[in-house]
Structure 1
Amino acid sequence: MKTTSKYPASPSKREFNDLCSNERPLIPPLYCELPFKSPAAVFEAVKGRAAVLLESIKGPDKIARYSFITFNPFLEMIVKDQLVEVVKDERRSVSSVRPLTRLREILNAYPQRKAPHLPPFQGGAIGLLSYDFVHYIERLPKTVIDLLNIPDAHFYIVDQLFAFDHKEHRAYAIVCPGARSIELGYTSLSDAPLLKDDLKTLYDEAEERLHRMVALYSGCSSEMACTIPDKKKRIVIEHEMKQSQYMEMVRRAKEYIHAGDIFQANLSQRLSAHIGNTPVWQLYRILRSINPSPFSFFADFGDYQLVSSSPERLIKLSDRIAQTRPIAGTRPRGISREFDERMRADLLLNEKERAEHIMLIDLERNDLGKVCDYGTVEVDELMITEDYSHVIHIVSNVQGSLTEGRDAMSLIRAVFPGGTITGVPKVRCMEIIDELEPVARGPYTGSFGYVSFSGDMDLNIIIRTMVIKNSVSYVQAGAGIVADSDPEREYFESLRKAEALLSTLERI
């Protein structure tokens, strides 16, 4: 069955054959353009285990342009306790290989020709790097209790998705022809010559799947209601740390700062709430209305789910240009333009905020410098303010050209986890976090996003995020501690950063 003439598949079969023959072994995606709809409304039709929504709801066009929906992955990669498990159907492969090496092998097995006019993710890996994934990158102590027992990394490998361009108001169904032939051994399609019959089979199978996606999309609503329920306050929020304990943690961090060990550290606390049989998707629907953000996402991994309204990018790689976008410095938004202007001025004139931000810019420049060509790392946006739904942030953008022989995995090793949520210097701060925080962070301050078959990547920082497991929602938030930090103020600052999440829980 072919896609309807109303939404024809591109490229045509002849164009597909020519592209594959002329650019062997690269294989272009098959796609069709569709009427633009709300990504969240479309996700209503596919949500369930292994479904993921990356949604740019609100923010500057530069970072909030694209959204993606993936479902029905053909491989799953789970990393925990130094073991890498890859699952296809009912078959499993377990090894102790380095996880980024294994992920590179899987993605390199499919030689994708990126379509430059489509949104940047056209198939590949989508998923999670927990904060604790740092133990695969750096030699660090690991002494705290892991209460959540979430994988250190968890990726779906996908070859079909819906992609949305909010700036151009366009939507696409995309399929990667032949990707599902990648087996657990990662036999590369580029190892075998593709004959005309092979190309015909690849095209016909992809077109059939594209047709089913079009039918699914056509049955979806165009918009999703964004009404925010009133607060019911039936949920009991449990603080896993007393105020006095957090304040003591801040005092101990300040001792390290005064001793010259570190300049700044991010210290967090965890809260939790039993949500009973409340559908997890309902939490996301409320949160996206309360706190629309550029790096929001919903992910269902079966025995746990993630609900996020993150405002911050960790790293983007596009056509070998790497960008990181640190956020440091926050003020609340008000009900008037004049109030917001005062807050922006207060942010930019505050010496503490500026000094902290400059330290983090230097850290990010150093991280990119590990894998980028000498002389290419630059700060192309310095300490601008960006308005979000509830707050104003100071933001900078640092970019560089990736060195020949380096790739997305090299970049992850260089920048993960983000300096804005660890501190400066990063490694010593992570040692102190392990010493002072009572439990393992799990997904909090890790990263979520995609790494494409073509080599592009976009990962956020997991903040403003709930982890739901066994009918309990876990919320974590922190504050940046510097030499003159007031422990009580930092305690309430960490709670303020959890306000949107706690407000969501109060409305179920």
Structure 2
Amino acid sequence: MRKYLNIHPGDERTFKQQICQASRNEGAAVILDSNGFQSPACVKSDINYDFVAGLQSVGDCTNDIHQLKLFHDQYQDWILGFLAYDVKNQLEELLSDNPDRIEMPDMYFFRPRYLFLNDGNSWQVGYLDDYDDESSVKNYISEFESICLTEEPLGDIKLNHQVSHAEYLEAIEKVLWHIQRGDIYELNYCMEFFIQDVDLMPQCVYERLKTISPTPFSSFVKYHDKFLMGASPERYLKKEGARMVSQPIKGTSPRDNNPFIDRANKRYLINSEKEQAENIMITDLVRNDLSRVARRGSVKVDELCGIYSFKQVHQMISTISAELDGSYNWLDAIKASFPMGSMTGAPKVSAMQLIEKYESSKRGLYSGTIGYVTPEGDFDFNVVIRSLLYNRKKQCASFMVGGAITNQSEPQKEYEECLLKASAIMKVFNIEQ
């Protein structure tokens, strides 16, 4: 049985860093940090967690999404974990044969021995009385004080392109041909950058990424010798009670230190018919996905093409909500809507078939999702974008960037938008574009 202990960390930023560094001693860890961002008013919620972290697995479920609800029912406890993009192959008749540098599992969820929660006002640690009592938990936390937070300097980093500039432009032209033929309306095309022979301290890289690009859905994952360090601004799906909320992002423009240029970039995004068209297509796709499990008449668009500003970019975000029909459970909502429309295209299955054909790398955890499920079956999951993946054994790091291709897309401008989305991770490694 899970019990909860109120705790009072002195410096919250330092405490979050200590929790992340403590993951070095654990085989599994998931950390979710909203970095103080508040949910928009249209996202009605009784409970918003600013920070959720789980350390040390005492039971897990790997690779088979159809077993996940049984695993959750067995313990009726918090579980944390991720679904990789390639879980699509368990939900549709699809394949993933492109090369995979990182080799994360397709799915991993675990029941944490230690669960840290912060709702913006107070901190709790959840522990299991089969393993710990209050005294042992306090001793575990007291050991955080001895953790070194010093960041190791990065050496010279060479960034490799899986897809050259010319190859990217050629692939986009082929996608545009499919759009003009009527095979699809929109497709999210992604390309990979990678670094070989690099020795990273993932916990420090994550903290640096959060500093450069604080976002409301940042995440850190440790799965044995494989890691994710993420700065995602996008929510995939949240469920609280029967209410579900999805917030797809489509539409990006850069921030600028010059306030006049920055405002002009924001105005461009507000007035861009191309960006609005992309966003509206995906909003319709999400509405359709949620309607498969929603109470009749409950699906609605709470906000269409809202503009939100982050440290690196301005984003166009829509909010769609629905009430889960009583004949469906929490996992049904995920199965009906995964992978998220903002990372696939429309129609979804046709887009995913073409993604496999024209992309050169297996997406893996990129454009998948990371999050938590509560004992009651409520959940909150992000979209894995703006994220770095690392395989310590192979000493290989990888990240992908992409964008929505529609009939209004210009290949060179799409390429430049991809580089903009990669800018935060490039800054982590002091790489000039």
The aligned counterpart of 1:484 is 408
TM-superposed CA distance for 1:501, in Å, is: 1.0
The separation in 2 between residues aligned to 1:461 and 1:228, in whole angstroms, is 29
SS in 2 for 1:438: coil
Instruction: Determine the C-alpha separation between the residues in 2 that align with 1:76 and 1:110.
Output: 11
Provide the C-alpha distance between the structure 1 equivalents of 2:109 and 2:253, rounded to a whole number of angstroms.
Answer: 35
Aligned partners of 2:330 and 2:377 also within 8 Å: yes
Partner of 1:250: 172
1:59 to 27, 33, 37: 37
Contact kept in structure 1, 2:237 and 2:244, CA below 8 Å: yes
CA contact (8 A) 2:101 2:396 kept: no
Structure 1 counterpart of 2:5: 32
| Corresponding residue number in structure 2 for 1:101 | 66
Cα distance in structure 2, aligned partners of 1:157 and 1:241? 38
Q: 1:157 Cα shift?
A: 2.0
Cα distance change of structure 1 residues 382 and 225 upon mapping to structure 2, 3 Å threshold: farther
Residues 342-371 of structure 1, C-alpha deviations (whole Å, 9 max, x = no match) = 222211111111111111111111111000
Counterpart pick for 2:399 among 475, 496, 499? 475
The aligned residue for residue 128 of structure 1 is 82
**1:96 corresponds to which residue?**
none
Conservation of the 8 A alpha-carbon contact between 1:327 and 1:393:
yes
- Which segment is superposed worse, 494-503 or 255-264? 494-503
Secondary structure (helix, strand or coil) at the match of 2:75 reads coil
Does the alignment pair 1:267 with 2:189? yes
Contact 2:238 2:380 in 1 (8 A): yes
Give the Å deviation of 1:318: 0.9
Any idea what SS the aligned residue of 2:354 has? helix
Please point out which of 106, 109, 112 is paired with 1:158: 112
Going from structure 1 to structure 2, the CA distance change for 1:493 and 1:226 (only over 3 Å counts) comes to farther
Question: Match for residue 219 of structure 2?
Answer: 297
Query: Could you tell me how far 1:276 is from its partner in structure 2?
Result: 2.9
Paired residues, number: 418
Pairwise CA RMSD = 2.4
Equivalent residue of 1:278, what SS?
coil
Distance 1:213 1:274 in 2: 39
Give SS of 2:56's match: coil
Is the 1:40–1:224 Cα contact (8 Å) retained in structure 2? no
State the match for 2:380 in structure 1: 458
2:73 partner letter: N
Q: Secondary structure at the match of 2:62?
A: strand
Residue of 86, 91, 107 corresponding to 1:137: 91
Query: Quick one: which amino acid aligns to residue 72 of structure 2?
Result: L
Deviations 1:301-332 (A, max 9, x none): 11311111111111111112111001111111
What pairs up with 1:316-355 in 2 under 5 angstroms? 316-355=238-277
Distance 2:328 2:83 in 1: 20
Q: Relative to structure 1, is the Cα distance of residues 357 and 142 closer, same or farther in structure 2, using a 3 angstrom cutoff? A: same
Identity %: 28
Counterpart residue type for residue 222 of structure 2: D
2:365 to 443, 449, 454: 443
Deviation, 1:136, is: 0.3
- Mapped to 2, the partners of 1:391 and 1:65 lie a distance apart of 24
1:261 counterpart SS class: coil
CA shift digits 1:447-503 (9 cap, x unpaired): 111122220111111111111012111011112111122212212221221111122
Judge conservation of contact 1:143–1:435 (CA < 8 Å) in 2.
no
The answer to whether structure 1 residue 502 and structure 2 residue 418 are counterparts is no
Give the whole-Å Cα distance in 2 for the aligned partners of 1:448 and 1:304. 15
1:9-52: CA deviation from partner (whole Å, max 9, x where unpaired):
xxxxxxxxxxxxxxxxxx7x421221142322333234332122
* Aligned counterpart, 2:340: 418
2: CA distance, partners of 1:233 / 1:342: 37
Map of 1:187 onto structure 2: none
Kept in 1: contact 2:22–2:147 (CA 8 A):
no
> Aligned pair in 2 of structure 1 residues 228, 263: CA closer, same or farther (>3 Å)?
farther
* Cα separation, 2, equivalents of 1:226 and 1:341: 37
TM-score by length of 1: 0.77
Q: Distance in 2 between matches of 1:222 and 1:398?
A: 45
Q: Is 2:44 aligned against 1:44?
A: no
The AA in structure 1 aligned to 2:214 is P
Provide the TM-score with structure 2 as the length reference. Answer: 0.90
- Rg larger in structure: 1
Quick one: structure 1 residues 293 and 318, their matched pair in 2 at CA, closer, same or farther if it must change by over 3 Å?
A: same
Offset at residue 506 of structure 1 (A): 2.9
Can you list the C-alpha shifts for 1:264-307, whole angstroms capped at 9, x where unaligned? 11111111113533312221121111111111111111131111
CA shift at 1:147, angstroms? Answer: 4.3
Structure 1 residue runs of 5 or longer lacking an equivalent are 1-26, 80-98, 112-122, 178-204
Corresponding residue number in structure 2 for 1:175: 127
Per-residue deviation, 1:58: 4.7
Residue 103 of structure 1: CA displacement?
1.2
Distance 2:39 2:8 in 1: 20
How many angstroms apart in 1 are the aligned matches of 2:191 and 2:341? Answer: 18
Map Cα deviations across residues 40-72 of structure 1 (whole Å, 9 max, x no partner): 233323433212211112533458842112112
SS of 1:363 mapped into structure 2: helix
Q: Alpha-carbon deviation of 1:436?
A: 0.6
Counterpart of 2:52 in structure 1 is: 68
